[in-house]
Structure 1
Amino acid sequence: MLGPLPQLHRWLLLTTALVVGLASGAWIAHFTVLPVAATVGAAFGALAGVLLGYVLVHDWSHRPRPVRVHRH
């Protein structure tokens, strides 16, 4: 986790991870012999980018939430 980031920085980080994952997946798959490999590689790269972005910006600390007590 990179810490509590402002919303704009989170979106920029997620978008960057998605674009890098998509481009790297397509680039790696481009060197295979299958004609559909670039599309499939880009899809898997995009999925990896989304997962990496989630891991980077997710807050893994569990904070206790206040509990409301209703007395009758």
Structure 2
Amino acid sequence: MESKKKIMSEKLPITEVNPINSRYYDYAHFTYPWHFHSQYEIIWVKESTGLCFAGDCIERFGPGTLIL
């Protein structure tokens, strides 16, 4: 039987009073589960390389890449 991962609907703590949420991660590799949300997300890659899956786009990333 094939195992399929579910896509998580992430609920961000965004409000009119607090419209921006920021986080800093220092992981050896990306550990966040496959997810979606209605807010914009900006990711800046300090180090590392790989493939980014965002919306209907799959692109390579490397150090200094900015992902929206």
**TM tier, shorter chain?**
under 0.3
Higher strand share: 2
Q: Which of structures 1 and 2 has the larger relative contact order (alpha carbons within 8 angstroms, sep 6+)? A: 1
TM-score, normalized by length of structure 2?
Answer: 0.21
TM-score, normalized by length of structure 1?
Answer: 0.20
Larger radius of gyration, structure 1 or 2? 1
Higher helix share: 1
